[in-house]
Each structure stands twice: as C-alpha cells, then as structure tokens.
C-alpha cells in the first residue's frame, strides 16, 4: 500500500509523536493532583523513567498508549498492514522492555501501576481510573493495571 502523504509530511507527522506530556498523561496528572496526590515527573533517579513517581507511596505510574505498548484485547491495538515484520519486532521489543522495567522496579521495592490510554479518553473514564488508582495508592498492593474495561490487581 502506498502512503497517502509525501515523505516530508510523514516525517514531520512522526516527529510530532510525543513521549511525555501526552493528553492521557496530562488528564491523569490533573485528576490526581486535584485529589491531593503529589508526584515527580519522569524522574531520572528511578529506573525506566516512569511518567509519575509518588515517593510517599513508594509507587510509580506508567501511562501507556494502547497502540505502542500493545494493550491486550483493546480496540486501539491495531497493526499496520505494511511492513508487518518491522512492526511485530518493534511491538515485541516494547512489550519486553515494559516487562523488564516493571520487574526491576518491583524488585527494587517500588509498586507499579500501568494506566492504559483507553482508560483516559472520556471524563467519566478519567474519574473512574483516578478513583481506582487512588484506592490502589492507599493500599498495599504491589501492582495494578487500569484499562477501559476494568482495573486489575496484578
């Protein structure tokens, strides 16, 4: 399949994809801050540079995009039809890196939360996700995964 835009436009579009301060991340940060939680952003002192670090709770939060980090069963987890080998390798590497980072953080005594992009699309979803995350932060559970369908302790 031929790309519908020229090379320069595609390059500019891809360069615009952000790794931090994304809309889902900003929405979660605003909601957590409104609930009184204070955090550090993208701390270089913590392995894997999590999106949010809450030292008081010894917890870190990752806000993952469903497409790039392969949220299982999510409708936003699509695979491009061109260059499938490249994309499969890229996605496999992302998932492996995510698992390795989570394992190392838990080994180092951190509690890990993963909030998926699909859980932060609408205001009511943001409220529900923030509620689940708040309850988890106040508990002693080691890990949680929050998606559009549910919050799941790991």
Q: What is the C-alpha separation between 136 and 132, in angstroms, rounded? A: 6
Q: pTM above 0.95? A: no
Separation CA 61–CA 50 (nearest Å): 6
Per-residue pLDDT of the chain (154 residues; tens, 9 = 90+): 567 888 888 788 877 777 788 899 999 999 999 999 999 999 999 999 999 999 999 999 999 999 999 999 899 998 888 888 999 999 999 999 999 999 999 999 999 999 999 999 999 999 999 999 999 999 999 999 999 876 677 6
Q: What is the CATH number of domain 20-153?
A: 3.40.960.10
Domain ranges of the chain: 20-153
Among all chains, which residue has been given the structure tokens 């590497």?
93
């Amino acid at each position: 399949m031929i790309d519908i835009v020229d090379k320069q436009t595609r390059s500019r579009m891809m360069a615009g994809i952000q790794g931090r301060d994304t809309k889902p991340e900003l929405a979660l940060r605003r909601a957590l801050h409104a609930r009184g939680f204070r955090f550090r952003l993208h701390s270089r002192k913590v392995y894997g540079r999590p999106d949010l670090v809450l030292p008081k709770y010894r917890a870190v939060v990752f806000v993952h995009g469903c497409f790039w980090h392969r949220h299982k069963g999510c409708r936003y987890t699509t695979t491009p039809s061109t260059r499938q080998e490249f994309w499969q390798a890229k996605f496999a590497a992302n998932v492996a890196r995510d698992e390795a980072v989570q394992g190392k953080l838990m080994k180092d005594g951190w509690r890990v939360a993963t909030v998926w992009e699909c859980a932060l699309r609408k205001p009511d979803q943001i409220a529900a996700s923030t509620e689940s995350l708040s309850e988890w932060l106040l508990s002693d559970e080691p890990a949680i995964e929050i998606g559009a369908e549910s919050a799941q302790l790991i």
